[in-house]
Amino acid sequence: MSSVYEKMKIRAKYCADEIKKHDHVHVVSHIDADGLTSAGIICKALGRSNIDYSIQFIKQLDETIIKEIGNKDYNLVIFTDLGSGMLSSIQEHNINAIVSDHHVPRGDIDLHLNPHLFGANGSSELSGSGTTYILATQLGNNTDLADLAIVGAVGDLQHSKHGKLIGLNRKILDEGMDHHVLDCYKDITFFGKQTRPVFKLLQFASDPYLPGLTGNEDACIEFLASMNLRFSGDERWRRWIDLTQDEKQTIVSSLFQYSLNNGISSYKLNRIVGEVYNLMNETEGTEMRDASEYSTLLNATARYDHADIGLAVCMGDRGEAYEAARRLLNEHRQNLVNGLQFVKENGVTILDNLQYFDAGKNIRETIVGIIAGMSTTIVENRDLPIIAFADTDNGVKVSARATQDLLRKGVNLSKAISDTCNEIGGSGGGHDIAAGATIPSELRHEFITKLDQVIGHQMNQK
């Protein structure tokens, strides 16, 4: 992997040399946590190099947006966390572009930085922010930005398959630890260790799903109380970071025993504890201290049309922008609760090889994928991928989510979505565990029927 890293640095140097020829560049990035951290990394690097920039965030790069960018006649455009699937179109519109991405490439351009070009996996070995970090290191001394790269990788769930970051992500993590901006260690993997009451960690646990605890607040409180540990103080519930090491060990041991008693396999059991990643320059007890919580905070900004706030947080604003992000996070959490309630009340439709729900206009298209992933905590059948539809102004947004267990059975949602779009219509792709598409409204039934067949074929081939 070291040789791949060095080869990527050589290509990154080639891209960086092109950037240095310009006084102003235009940055185009995706709206998720990986896209926001990618934008934060390149914008910080550009600023340190005294290069002016403008920024544009988009939900999905398509022909219309590329045409609009081409008509602006920018001297140089840097695409981060997107672009690899539209290389031919970028060329056709004569855009002088650098593409810093990690999705599967379609076509080719000279200034293209992507792990797939060097034999690395963009779903698990390097994120969009990691690719952009490599580019930034060739613009100047920017190794301190490794922390943002790791936030993007965790936000992209690149650690989930192996319970830790691997490949090129690991190289970036090591650099961040060497420069004391990152720390990693084994701990409980449940979300919210910095900010949530302890019982909330169990209540919203989904990987693995804890039967009898996941989704049941009262049962989680009772489970913790049974250990005779003090879980509240100073009129508030204690967080995971407030517990002693002995208290943490007691909870983890009890969770292991509980899981074994409830038939959770050893493979799933191993996901209770894994590597976690802290940003050492951030204040303990805030969302930015933990890479997972930081990525969620960022998701709560751009997905509600406030990418500028998320970018400002990435750029270091811990005042007005941070407070605005926290308000958006609270709104985001409520919308997720409402979305899950919609799924719970309306249920899912089960086909041979997948299950799906159609949210219509009841769930915002920018969060329907998150709710699809969270739905594993409430659906009865967790052995099928979950597909979600949500209406948009330009058709229907499709979001697909799988689990590591399904990947082991041969499911690859990126390929399944892409193959279905190629045959039925629309455009889409993503990663093996999470993918999406936009399709014409009238193709819903035809799309889901074909996708069911494609996923079935994948599992039969395994």
- Residue at 186 is within a domain: no
At residue 159, the 3 state secondary structure works out as coil
- Residue at 342 is within a domain: no
- Residue at 183 is within a domain: no
Query: In this predicted structure, what is the pLDDT of residue 302?
Result: 85
**Does residue 353 share a domain with residue 332?**
no
**Does residue 364 share a domain with residue 295?**
no
- Residue at 286 is within a domain: yes
Residue 26 pLDDT grade (very low, low, confident, very high; cuts 50, 70, 90): very high
**Does residue 219 share a domain with residue 104?**
no
Check whether 271 has a pLDDT greater than 60: yes
Contact 437, 386 (CB under 8 A): no
**Does residue 447 share a domain with residue 402?**
yes
**Does residue 147 share a domain with residue 65?**
yes
For residue range 148-195, list pLDDT tens digits in order. Answer: 999 999 999 899 878 899 999 999 999 999 999 999 999 999 999 999
**Does residue 124 share a domain with residue 241?**
no
Instruction: Say if strands 349-350 and 427-430 run parallel, antiparallel, or are unpaired.
Output: unpaired
Query: In this predicted structure, what is the pLDDT of residue 233?
Result: 60
CATH code, domain with 159: 3.90.1640.30
- Residue at 191 is within a domain: no
**Does residue 265 share a domain with residue 324?**
yes
**Does residue 107 share a domain with residue 160?**
yes
**Chosen domain end from 336, 359, 390:** 336
**Does residue 159 share a domain with residue 11?**
yes
Q: What is the DSSP string of 198-241?
A: HHHHHHT-BTTB-TTTTT-HHHHHHHHHTTT---EETTEEPBGG
Q: Which residues of 195-233 are buried (b: 16+ CB within 10 A; e: fewer)?
A: bbbbbbbbbbbbbbbbeebbbeeebbbebbeeeebebee
At residue 280, the 3 state secondary structure works out as coil
**Does residue 438 share a domain with residue 357?**
yes
SS3 content of the chain, % helix, strand, coil (to 5): 50, 15, 35
Contact 219, 275 (CB under 8 A): no
At residue 437, the 3 state secondary structure works out as strand
- Residue at 241 is within a domain: yes
Contacts of 390 (CB under 8 A, 6+ apart): 359, 360, 361, 363, 364, 365, 368, 396, 397, 399
For residue range 298-341, list pLDDT tens digits in order. Answer: 999 988 899 999 999 999 999 999 999 999 999 988 898 899 89
CA atoms within 13 A on the CB side of 330: 5
- Residue at 163 is within a domain: yes
**Does residue 219 share a domain with residue 88?**
no
CATH code, domain with 397: 3.10.310.40
**Does residue 137 share a domain with residue 6?**
yes
**Chosen domain end from 336, 363, 383:** 336
| Nearest-angstrom CA–CA distance, 168 and 194 | 27
Instruction: Give the count of domains, the chain.
Output: 3
Distances (CA, A) of 85 to 60, 106, 156, 191, 369: 11, 5, 18, 32, 20
**Chosen domain end from 284, 315, 336:** 336
Query: In this predicted structure, what is the pLDDT of residue 28?
Result: 98
Kindly report the average pLDDT of the chain as a whole number: 93
Range of the domain at 170: 2-178
| Nearest-angstrom CA–CA distance, 267 and 108 | 40
User: Of 51, 157, 162, 39, nearest to 100 (Cα)?
Assistant: 39
Contact 434, 387 (CB under 8 A): no
CA atoms within 13 A on the CB side of 189: 21
| Nearest-angstrom CA–CA distance, 290 and 130 | 17
Q: Token pair for residue 206?
A: 């989904």
- Residue at 154 is within a domain: yes
